[in-house]
Amino acid sequence: MWARKVLAETHPKKTSKEERVHFRMKLQVRRSIFNPSKSRPLTHRGRRTPLPTAAAPEVRIWLLKGPLPLLLLCSSLQSPTVAVKIDFDLAPVSFDDQYQGCSQQVLEELILEDYFTKELAAHEYHKVWQRALLAWLNQAKAPPKDMAIAHAVAILVYSSNNSVRSDFIRAMASAARSPQQYKNSFHFKYLHYYLTTAIQLLRKEMVRRNDSLCYEVHHKVEGVYLSASTGATIRFGQFLSTSLLREEAQKFGKQTLFTILTCLGAPVQDISLKKEVLVPPYELFEVVNTSYHPRGNWLQLRSTGNLSTYNCQLLKAIKKI
pLDDT in tens, 255-279: 889 999 999 999 999 999 889 999 9
Say what angle helices 115-123 and 126-138 make with each other, to 10 degrees: 110
Is residue 80 domain-shared with residue 2, that is, in the same domain?
no
Tell me whether residue 58 is in a domain: no
- Can you tell me whether residue 67 is helix, strand or coil? coil
Tens digits of residue pLDDT in 48-62:
333 333 333 222 333
Confidence band for 202, pLDDT divided at 50, 70 and 90: very high
* Same domain, residue pair 76 and 8: no
Task: Give 75's contacts (C-beta < 8 A, 6+ positions apart).
Answer: 162, 165, 166, 169
Looking at the structure, tell me whether residues 288 and 249 fall in a common domain. yes
Looking at the fold, whether 28 and 74 belong to one and the same domain comes out as no
Q: How far is CA 26 from CA 6, 30, 145, 271, in A?
A: 12, 6, 18, 21
* Same-domain pairing of 1 and 80: no
Domain membership of residue 227 (yes or no) is: yes
Burial category of 80 from C-beta neighbours within 10 Å (exposed 0-12, middle 13-18, buried 19 and up) = middle
CATH number at residue 283: 3.90.176.10
Binned at pLDDT 50, 70 and 90, residue 217 comes out as very high
Whether residues 281 and 226 fall in one domain: yes
Tell me: do 71 and 23 sit in the same domain: no
Q: Does residue 252 fall inside a structural domain?
A: yes
Do 219 and 297 belong together in one domain?
Answer: yes
Number of domains in the chain: 2
| Within-domain flag for 258 | yes
CA distance 225 to 257: 9
Entry pTM: 0.76
Range of the domain at 276: 64-94+211-306
- Residue 42 maps to a domain: no
Residue 262 lies in a domain: yes
261 and 301 share one domain:
yes
